[in-house]
């Protein structure tokens, strides 16, 4: 399954450009579209990682105070 995210704004009648009535007028909205396809799981993972890396919800992770670990922390994982 592939996800497509569209940022849009409703018109004064509460409609998106894709003619989906929200019953709210003149507000910003976010639309997620899920598409079934035969792509491999790797392609789906790339799409997911690309989507979340651009999502403003995770912007706080780029702040310096969130960098609490270094390469010297923890132990190597050998599987």
78 inside domain: no
How much is the CA Rg of the chain, to the nearest whole Å? Answer: 19
Does residue 72 form part of some domain?
no
Q: How many domains are there within the chain?
A: 1
- Domain-embedded: residue 26: yes
Q: For residue 77, is it within any domain?
A: no
Q: Which residues of the chain have pLDDT under 50?
A: none
Residue of 23, 20, 43 whose CA lies nearest to 33 = 20
Q: In terms of residues, how long is the chain?
A: 79
Q: Residue 40 sits in which domain range? A: 2-63
- Whether 17 is covered by a domain: the verdict is yes
Structural domain includes residue 28? yes
Q: Where is 74: in which H helix or E strand?
A: none
Q: Is 21 inside any structural domain?
A: yes
**pLDDT the model gives residue 39:** 58
């Amino acid at each position: 399954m592939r996800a497509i995210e569209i940022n849009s704004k409703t018109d004064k009648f509460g409609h998106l450009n894709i003619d989906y009535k929200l019953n709210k007028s003149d507000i910003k909205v976010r639309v997620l579209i899920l598409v079934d396809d035969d792509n491999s799981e790797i392609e789906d993972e790339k799409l997911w990682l690309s989507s979340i890396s651009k999502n403003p919800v995770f912007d706080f992770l780029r702040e310096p105070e969130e960098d609490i670990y270094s390469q010297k922390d923890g132990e190597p994982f050998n599987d």
